[in-house]
Amino acid sequence: NAGVTQTPKFRVLKTGQSMTLLCAQDMNHEYMYWYRQDPGMGLRLIHYSVGEGTTAKGEVPDGYNVSRLKKQNFLLGLESAAPSQTSVYFCASSYPDRADEKLFFGSGTQLSVL
């Protein structure tokens, strides 16, 4: 059981380049999330999805786009990368049951934008 898998694990971009981060979960979870983690800032929600074909903005959505075409996948896109987007990105998923609202996180993608 793989859980939540993020690819790639590391990436270096030049300013203005684009890329897509892929998140895949095999737990049949309805909800999926993208967070960024910066030193001293904790985990901040970028976008989230409550089901296949739906997406919503989180706390820091500017500069990012997302898509949830399949229930098991949640893609995070950077159309024109900026140095301020240097961060560690975490994907998470959950099953929206009030009895169990645990978030399952992937192992993260370290992104550097030069």
Partner 1 sequence: GENVEQHPSTLSVQEGDSAVIKCTYSDSASNYFPWYKQELGKGPQLIIDIRSNVGEKKDQRIAVTLNKTAKHFSLHITETQPEDSAVYFCAASKSGGSNYKLTFGKGTLLTVNP
* φ/ψ bin of 3: left (φ > 0), alpha (ψ from -120 to 50), beta (otherwise): left
Q: Which of 25, 32, 33, 64 touches partner 1 (CB under 8 A)?
A: 33
Q: Judged by CB, which is closer to partner 1: 16, or 96?
A: 96
- Rounded Cα distance, 70 and 50, in Å: 12
Q: Which of 31, 34, 64, 74 touches partner 1 (CB under 8 A)?
A: 31
- Rounded Cα distance, 104 and 50, in Å: 15
Q: Is residue 96 part of the contact set for partner 1 (CB under 8 A)? A: yes
Q: Which two tokens stand for residue 92?
A: 């998470």
Residues at the interface with partner 1 (CB under 8 A): 4, 31, 33, 40-45, 48, 50, 58-59, 90, 92, 94, 96, 98, 101-103, 105-108
